[in-house]
Structure 1
Amino acid sequence: MSDIDFPAELVELERSAWEAAQRGELTADLAAKVQARITAFAEASGLDRYTAEMALKKLVRHPEPDA
């Protein structure tokens, strides 16, 4: 799992956007909402937005199997 402690609501928001994208139903509004939340989280955490976004996408799209 990621070394970054993402809030559950941000993980769920990214997951819903990823699932919508997989169905071909991702809207610009949802994508913008995800980007805004990632940016706010990164700024509040002192992280680079790109680093936070890539870690979140990896967490959602490629979860590690349970040990």
Structure 2
Amino acid sequence: MDILGRLIELQTAADAEHAKLTSLDGPEHAAQRQSWFTAAATIQAAITEHAQENGLNRFDLEAAVKKAARHPSDDG
């Protein structure tokens, strides 16, 4: 898998963890919030590292990854 594919995969996982929060409350919500926080921190670190290693604008890369993860094109 290429790096962009891996970043998209990480972003999709973080989004999925966040979506699980809506149906929870109490201790379950707190535990799920931690799972989401961990997934979000992982994608943020991966984006930052990739941007630094490749001389890319970190914010532009993040926007591109989120767009690709949340609105995948039908043409692959």
Pick from 31, 39, 64 the counterpart of residue 48 of structure 2.
39
What's the Cα RMSD here?
A: 1.8
Structure 1 ranges of 4+ moved more than 6 A: none
Structure 2 gaps, min length 5: 22-31
For this pair of structures, how many residues does the alignment match? Answer: 62
Which of the pair is proportionally richer in helix? 2
Superposition TM-score, scaled by structure 1 size:
0.77
> Distance in 2 between the 1:9 and 1:64 partners?
17
Higher relative contact order (CA 8 A, sep 6+): 1
> Distance in 2 between the 1:59 and 1:34 partners?
14
**Deviation (angstroms), 1:22:** 1.8
More deviation, 6-15/48-57: 6-15
Superposition TM-score, scaled by structure 2 size:
0.69
Is 2:17–2:39's contact at 8 Å kept on the other side of the alignment? Answer: no
Q: Which has the larger radius of gyration?
A: 2
Corresponding residue for residue 7 of structure 2? 10
